[in-house]
Chains A and B, each alone.
Chain A
Amino acid sequence: MTSLPATAPAKKLGLVIDLDVCVGCHACVISCKEWNTGGYGAALSDQDPYGAEVSGTFLNRVHSFEVIPEGGEIVGEAGEARIVHFPKSCLHCDDAPCVTVCPTGASYKRTEDGIVLVDEDMCIGCGLCAWACPYGAREMDLAAGVMKKCTLCVDRIYNETIQEIDRVPSCVRTCPANARHYGDLADPQSEVSLMVAARGGIDLMPEQGTRPVNKYLPPRPRQVLGAGSEQALLAENTDGATGFFAWLDGVLERI
C-alpha cells in the first residue's frame, strides 16, 4: 500500500545529524555502502568502477557548503563565515511524497516505526519516487533496475544476532566524530529528542511539506577572530612572572 499510515506511527525512528561536529570525513558514506551492499535487497552497484567515468549507488552522501554572512568573505571577518559539511540520507518523512506517488505499492512507510522502505520485488524502476523526493534521498540502482534508499539499517537495529552496541545504523556506529545520532523522535524524552530541543534542531526544506523525521543540529555560533587576542599579547608580557622565571627574565633582559 502506498497510502501513508492513517495514524501517526507509535515510534519515529530516525537520525539527528550535528552540523557543528561533522568533519566531512565521509566514513559514514563508506560504512553505509559497505553494510548495505551486502544487506537489505539488491547490492549497491557501481558503474565503470575502475574507469574514468566511475559512478555508483549510494544511500548517504556528504556535501560541503560554504556559508558567507553579509559583510565579508574572509573567515572570521564577519564572525560566522564557514565551511559546513553536510551528510544527507533519507529523512523518513512523515508526509513522504515518494511513497504516495509509487504506482506499484513497492514504496511504503512502516506503521510500527515510521521507516520508509522499498519492497524491491515489487519495484518496476520507474523512478517517479526519486522525482518526488526533494532531498535526492533515492537513487536507482542501474544494475538491478530498482530504487535504493536508506533503510535506517533495518537489518541492524532489530538484529539480535549482533551485539547490542551494533544495533544502530551503520553510519551512526562508524562516525568517528560522533556527529550522527539515532533514536526515537516520537518520544520527547529520548536522547535524540532532548538533543533536538536543546540545540534547536531543524527540518530541511520545511516548505516542501514533507515533515521529515530526521533533524539537523545547526552549527553553534563561532568565536570571533579577535576574541583570543589578549592571550596572544600575554606572550610578550612578563609582568606577572615570579621566582625562577622572574630571575630568568631579568638575566635575559641584561644580556
Chain B
Amino acid sequence: MHPALSIIVFTTLSGLGYGLATALGTGLLDPAATATKAAHLLALALIAAGLMSSTLHLGNPQRAWRAFSQWRSSWLSREGVMAVLTFLPLAASAFLAIFESRYEPALGLAGAALSLVTVYCTAMIYASLKSVQTWHTPLTPLCYLLFALAGGFSLSTFFAAMGGGNLLLSSGLAAFFVCLAWIAKLVWRNRMNTLRPISTPETATGLGFIGKVRLFERPHINDNYLTNEMGFRVARKHAVKLAALSFGLGGIVPVALLLGLLALGAAHPAVAVGVALLAVLSHITGMLVERWLFFAEARHAVMNYYGG
C-alpha cells in the first residue's frame, strides 16, 4: 500500500495526542503545575494537527462533514464521530487544569476512555479490510492502542520532569507500555512474515484448475491509480533494515532512557528533562518509520491482477 505522508503523520500525531490525553485523564500529573497545563494544550494540538492532516489526502475535503453520517457501518465514520465526542471532555479537562488548576476524575477518566476508543476506531479502519490480509487481525488495533499509550506516557514523563510531578510512576508506566507495544508489534510482524495469502492469482482469475497463473500483460503500459495506491514496493527492499531501525529508535532507545530515568530518580531535574525529551523524540522517529512500514509492507489483494 502507498504510504501517504498525510496518513502517516495523522496516525502518529493523533496516536501521541490521544495517548497523552489518556495519561492526563488518569490524573497522573499535578493540575496546578504549568507543565501540566502545557501538556493539556499539546495533547489537543497534536489531536487537532493529526485530524487536519488526515483531511489533506481527500479529493473533496469541503464535504468532509458528511463523513460523520455513516457510523452504523463505517469505521472511518465512527472515528470521525468519536474524535468529536472525545474532544468535549478533553477540552473541558484542559479548561479545568489551565484556568482552575483542578483535576476532575470523572471527566478525566471519561476523556481517557474515549481517547482510547477513538484510537481503536482509527486502527479498525485498517483492521477491517479483508483485502489487506496483513492488517486484517485484532493485533492491529492492539498495536495502535499500545503504541498510543507508549507515546502518551513517554510524553507525560517529559512533562513530569518539567515540573508536573510523579516522574517515577510516569516513566515506569511509559517503559512498561513501550515494551508491551513492541511485544505486540513483533507478534504482528511475525504473523505478517509467516502469512499464507488467502487470495492468489489462481483464485483471483479462477484459472487455478488449469495450472499456475502468471500475469502475461498488464492492461496498460504505465501505472494507474490502483498500482500507485496499492502497488507500492520500494520499502520491501529495505524492509528488514527499516524494521530494525524502528525497533531500535521506537523501542530499545526510549526504554533504556526511561529506565535510566527510574534509576536517576528525582536527583537531577535538568538531566531528567533532557533524557525524557530524548526518549520522546526517539520514540516518535521510530514510530514514523513503523507507520511507514505498516503501509509500505502491506500487500493488497488487487496486486494478484497486476503481478505484484
Q: Which residues of A does B touch, CB under 8 Å?
A: 1-3, 19, 26, 29, 53-58, 61-70, 78, 80-84, 86, 88, 97, 99-106, 122-128, 130-136, 139-142, 144-147, 202-209, 216, 218-219
Q: Which of B53-61, B163-171, B260-268 makes up part of the contact surface?
A: B53-61
Partner of B199, one of A61, A67, A140, A208: A208
Chain B residue contacts of A145, Cβ below 8 A = 58-60
| Chain A contact surface mostly | loop
Complex Cα distance A71/B184, Å? 44
Report A236 CB to chain B, min CB distance, Å: 34
Chain B residue contacts of A124, Cβ below 8 A = 58-61, 63-64, 66-67
Partner of B76, one of A62, A128, A147, A202: A128
Report A31 CB to chain B, min CB distance, Å: 15
User: How big is chain B's contact interface, by range?
Assistant: 35 or more
Report B254 CB to chain A, min CB distance, Å: 31
Contact status of A66 and B214, CB under 8 A, knowing A103-B76, A218-B206: yes
Known: A19-B207, A55-B225, A124-B63. 10 other contacts (CB 8 A): A65-B214, A66-B216, A84-B207, A86-B305, A97-B131, A134-B131, A136-B226, A136-B305, A142-B59, A145-B59
A130→B229 contact, CB < 8 A: yes
- Give how many A-B residue pairs fall within 8 Å (CB-CB): 205
Complex Cα distance A225/B304, Å? 30
B132→A131 contact, CB < 8 A: yes
Chain A residue contacts of B45, Cβ below 8 A = none
Report B137 CB to chain A, min CB distance, Å: 16
Report B39 CB to chain A, min CB distance, Å: 31
Nearest-CB residue, chain A, relative to B75: A101
Complex Cα distance A82/B218, Å? 16
Complex Cα distance A147/B60, Å? 11
Q: At the interface, yes or no: B151 with Cβ under 8 Å from chain A? A: no
A127→B205 contact, CB < 8 A: no
Contact status of A205 and B203, CB under 8 A, knowing A57-B225, A101-B128, A126-B67: yes
Q: At the interface, yes or no: B77 with Cβ under 8 Å from chain A? A: yes
B211→A100 contact, CB < 8 A: no
Complex Cα distance A25/B128, Å? 37
Most buried by A among B201, B204, B218: B204
Partner of A127, one of B80, B207, B220, B229: B229
